[in-house]
């Protein structure tokens, strides 16, 4: 999809002889994100992990820039210098990993499908459980507790993987400190991160050591702090409406 926007521009050094004006082009992709959105966090983590240079525009959910609104109704969205738009977080991740020149991420073709399957569980069932757990004031205490319990059950699956290898998928031929995080780790982590931050003490006492180490590994790398973001600043009627449809603070 091609959309025309007013781009942030950079002066291009390659000017042809005889050209009256220097050509002005935007050289870097722009990521429009909302820091409280796990889909945005996974996209920025992927770009950072493979060291792709980009301009990061952090948006206000309720007051989005015209430039962002012109190209997408959801976060995250990546706008390329040729005005191509990518507005699915997993597409952004996959594009980043296909351009992973240093091989920082475990992303073998043969594992993409099983990784996508695991990610799909977190994008659907776990996400719903997380919403209920995060917003007892909107869903009621009982549903919120059920959300927490179901979320923890999901996390037991991660435990199983983490008991076999450092990250969620085996990194063939690599062991111990040589193992690299996979596409699935980066895609799933932002949801677990939010889950853990609802009640840090509870998570610390209830989650397994492996899961806590895994969570700590990515938390310490992650600089965008989304703790409690969105919570408490969204009026309850809006929150109810959001929870029935799509959430800005999933
Ligand atoms: N499938 C999309 C989902 C992204 C999504 O739902 N983002 C939420 C924020 S976390 C959003 O922008 N919602 C728009 C809205 O509710 O207005 C992706 O993975 O990129």
Choice between 226 and 56, residue whose per-residue pLDDT is larger: 56
The answer to whether residue 82 is domain-embedded is no
CA distance 197 to 76: 22
- Max CA-CA distance within the chain? 72
CA distance 119 to 51: 23
Query: Which two three-digit tokens encode residue 146?
Result: 């059920």
Q: How confident is the model at residue 12 (pLDDT cuts 50, 70, 90)?
A: very low
Q: Is the pLDDT of residue 50 over 60?
A: yes
The answer to whether residue 37 is domain-embedded is no
Mutation probe of ligand 1 site: the residue of 34, 39, 89, 90 with most atoms within 8 A of C-beta: 39
* Predicted confidence (pLDDT) per residue in 170-206, tens digit: 998 899 999 999 999 999 999 999 999 999 999 999 9
- For the stretch 140-168, what's the b/e string if a residue is b when 16 or more beta carbons lie within 10 angstroms of its beta carbon? eeebbeebbebbbebbeebeebbeebbbb
The answer to whether residue 239 is domain-embedded is no
Do 99 and 17 meet the contact criterion of CB atoms below 8 Å apart?
A: no
Q: How many domains does the chain have?
A: 1
- What CATH number did the domain enclosing 189 receive? 1.20.1050.10
CA distance 198 to 16: 56
The answer to whether residue 191 is domain-embedded is yes
* Predicted confidence (pLDDT) per residue in 139-159, tens digit: 999 999 999 999 999 999 999
Does 74 sit in the ligand 1 pocket, CB within 6 Å? yes
The answer to whether residue 10 is domain-embedded is no
pLDDT at 173: 85
Taking each helix axis as running N to C, give the angle between helix 109-121 and helix 89-98, from 0 to 180 degrees, rounded to the nearest 10: 160
Choice between 229 and 197, residue whose per-residue pLDDT is larger: 197
Mean pLDDT of all residues in 9-18: 37
Residue nearest to atom 2 of ligand 1 (CA): 88
Domain that holds residue 189: 109-226
What's the 178 CA to ligand 1 centre distance in angstroms?
34
């Amino acid at each position: 999809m091609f959309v025309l926007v007013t781009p942030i521009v950079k002066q291009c050094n390659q000017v042809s002889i005889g050209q009256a004006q220097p050509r002005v082009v935007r050289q870097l992709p722009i990521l429009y994100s909302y820091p409280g959105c796990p889909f945005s966090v996974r996209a920025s983590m992927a770009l950072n992990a493979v060291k792709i240079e980009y301009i990061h525009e952090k948006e206000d959910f309720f007051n989005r820039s015209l430039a962002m609104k012109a190209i997408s109704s959801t976060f995250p969205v990546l706008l390329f210098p040729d005005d191509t738009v990518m507005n699915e977080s997993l597409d952004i991740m996959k594009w980043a990993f296909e351009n992973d020149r240093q091989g920082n991420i475990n992303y073998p073709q043969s594992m993409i499908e099983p990784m996508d399957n695991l990610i799909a569980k977190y994008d659907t069932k776990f996400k719903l459980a997380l919403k209920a757990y995060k917003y007892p004031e909107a869903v009621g205490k009982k549903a919120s507790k059920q959300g927490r319990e179901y979320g923890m059950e999901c996390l037991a699956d991660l435990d199983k993987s983490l008991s076999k290898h450092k990250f969620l998928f085996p990194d063939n031929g690599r062991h111990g400190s040589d193992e690299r995080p996979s596409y699935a780790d980066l895609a799933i982590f932002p949801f677990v991160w939010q889950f853990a931050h609802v009640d840090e003490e509870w998570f610390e006492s209830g989650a397994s050591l492996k899961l806590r180490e895994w969570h700590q590994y990515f938390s310490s790398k992650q600089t965008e702090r989304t703790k409690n973001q969105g919570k408490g600043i969204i009026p309850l009627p809006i929150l109810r409406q959001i929870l029935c449809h799509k959430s800005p603070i999933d």
